[in-house]
Amino acid sequence: MISRRSLCLTALGAATLLAGCDKLGFSSASKPSFQGVDLTGAAYARGFSLPDQYGRTRSLDDFKGKVVVVFFGFTQCPDVCPTTLAELAQVKKALGPDGDKVQGVFITVDPERDKPELLKAYLESFDPGFVALRGSPEQLKEVAKEFKVYYAKVPGKTPDSYTMDHTAASFLFDPQGRVRVFSRYGAGTQALMGDIKALLAGQ
């Protein structure tokens, strides 16, 4: 399920931070035009440190030199999550050799059900190179706060049939590990590919 309120708040927060771009070396004259919301200079979404599907603690430093695409979701998501991951896999394939310079990172908002073995199988069905991150409820709360994303359990008919409401968007980091773009769900593969190409080109 998509949290439109959260999407709007995040976009508004991004807009207020653009004035600080020059401090990081991105002048108004050289600042690229992204399809998504430009987060250059944002003081949030600065990174993560969480165990992956193999139990190894991962952070942005592990992916230096790559464009990193971070998405929050859960394996039992019926539409938004599989669509987003499928689009990213499609973009990686379309980029040819440059696809190896793109890293997908999936952070589960449902650690209760998304056990490591399930995450392995789920991510491999899209791209074996994608990384899944699963923290404790406390760790998830902290990283969600850092990224300003919303998530909440929505009760079902039985205790195990609940779903998750969550922010439906991806965060794009440049090869230097700086957050640069907030890509809204539904923007499509061409918009995502354009922004990834711009970041790979050093914009």
Q: Which residue's entry shows tokens 């995450």?
A: 119
Residue type, 52: D
Angle at 32 between CA 20 and CA 41, to 5 degrees: 20
- Alpha-carbon distance of 121 to 108, in angstroms, equals 14
Q: Is 21 annotated as a binding residue?
A: no
CA 28 vs. chain centroid, Å, equals 26
Q: Are 12 and 5 in contact (CB under 8 A)?
A: no
Check residue 2 and report its DSSP letter.
B
- Alpha-carbon distance of 131 to 52, in angstroms, equals 7
Q: Is 8 annotated as a binding residue?
A: no
Q: Is 81 annotated as a binding residue?
A: yes
Instruction: Please spell the DSSP secondary structure of 37-54, one letter per residue.
Output: EE-TT-SS----EEEBTT
Q: What are the structure tokens assigned to 89, written together? A: 């896999």
List, as residue ranges, the binding site for Cu cation: 77, 81, 166
List, as residue ranges, the binding site: 77, 81, 166
